[in-house]
Amino acid sequence: MTTTDFFTTGEDVLRAAIAAELDRTRRRSLALTDSVDDADLTRQHSPLMSPLVWDLAHIGNQEELWLVRDVGGLVPLRSDIDELYDAFQHARADRPALPLLSPAEARGYVRGVREKTLDVLDRTPLRGRRLVADGFAFGMIVQHEQQHDETMLATHQLRTGEPVLHAPAPPPSILPPTAREVLIPGGPFTMGTDSDPWALDNERPAHTVLVDSFYLDAAPVTNAAYAEFIAEGGYDRREWWTEAGWAHRQQAELRAPLFWERDSDGTWWRRRFGVTEPVPAEEPVVHVCLHEAEAYARWAGRRLPTEAEWEKAARHDPVTGRSRRYPWGDEAPTEHHANLGQRHLSPAPVGAYPQGTTPAGVHQLVGDVWEWTSSTFTAHPGFAAFPYREYSEVFLDGGYQVLRGGSFGTDTSMARASFRNWDHPIRRQIFAGFRCARDAARAERS
């Protein structure tokens, strides 16, 4: 049973599926926090990140606020800690200095909250009130926890020391794209969704967007291609950078993707979850900021796709005219479709997921790396905040850039192709890469 199937199969089945999703998600959170000792859990590995123990208790606190108190109507377990774990009250850099719950207390707290949540799930009708219809609030909390799990995975990547996370290598390239780029013919398509039960407010409502013909890279930009950009002076040539990009390049002294280092032979190495290894040529580049992606695109004579172009390539079915849930169709992701859910600890090489391509032949739109787009985070027309302003609304028009498609660290519960992520243009600790696009020549437009 997967999240796409169980909405139509009755309330008991839905309830059992939600319990399974909550449990699957919690096992991931515990794997990320049990793999290091208490000192590591309370330490700040980067000023960009919270201590892992903050994320853990924050996960429990959001679950308590929404599922135990709001949906369940139960008395608070720990209203005294709400302020400590409110992400809007304390910047990440300040969180280590707070009187946080200890690792043992945080574990006990999330366990206590979960017991109450399961009681609430047992007795809550999953229909009627919008917050609970189709189990939305439970789905929102599953996705919230999984988002923090990906954030904790990024914290693991920033920590130094011996490797503590282990996973099999991603699958090899089986069938790389036959063409470098794919023509996406112009015309209208349906962006966003009205019907996806667990879609978040910023993905709604469904609306028609007219997109002109364009070419999209059949795969994300690889490490080999990116190394060529560096070798041709990519980081030294002002003309390939935007004004803001060049200023940041200078100020932050960017020379290569985060975690890359060149040895005296000129070979590039990267550090990945405590392992140092040669940069794999055919994997999508990861840990680059928007400015680096834009400079690469300009060097290559191309540009980044807009968010609408990305979504059209990922969802529009030219035969039926409808937008599908995933690049390959409506079937929930399996291990054969995409590199998701921390099943592997790196992107997979281009061509590793032929079953996940779009009918037009675009590979790996979902999974592997988040893809920077040229669009800032704005509301879909008709947007209405739900269930609270702080989920999306306070970030709209705030200078955030949209990323699409999810990474190897993104859970399947957020892999739908309408899902929107956003971050500051300078961020590199996230699992972000990109692919390029270009306008179609006038003669190629239909």
Cis preceding linkage at 125, omega within 30: no
- Helix or strand (DSSP H, E) at 191: strand 187-191
Residue that has been written with the tokens 């893809």 in this structure: 371
- The answer to whether 238 is a known ligand-binding residue is no
| Dihedral angle, C-alpha 8, 13, 16, 18, nearest 10 ° | 10
- The answer to whether 144 is a known ligand-binding residue is yes
φ and ψ of 250, to 5 deg: -70, -50
Instruction: Look at the chain and count its residues.
Output: 446
Residue 427 and residue 289 in contact, taking contact as beta carbons nearer than 8 Å: yes
User: By three-state DSSP, how is residue 187 classified?
Assistant: strand
Cis preceding linkage at 305, omega within 30: no
- The answer to whether 249 is a known ligand-binding residue is no
The count of C-alpha atoms lying within 13 angstroms of the C-alpha of 9, restricted to the half-sphere facing its C-beta, is: 13
- Helix or strand (DSSP H, E) at 435: none
The count of C-alpha atoms lying within 13 angstroms of the C-alpha of 98, restricted to the half-sphere facing its C-beta, is: 23
- The answer to whether 225 is a known ligand-binding residue is no
- The answer to whether 427 is a known ligand-binding residue is yes
Task: Give the Cα separation of 12 and 4 in Å (integer).
Answer: 16
Burial class (CB in 10 A: 0-12, 13-18, 19+), 234: buried
- Output the known binding site for gamma-L-glutamyl-L-cysteine: 92-95, 423, 427
- Output the known binding site for Fe cation: 58, 144, 148
- Output the known binding site: 58, 92-95, 144, 148, 423, 427
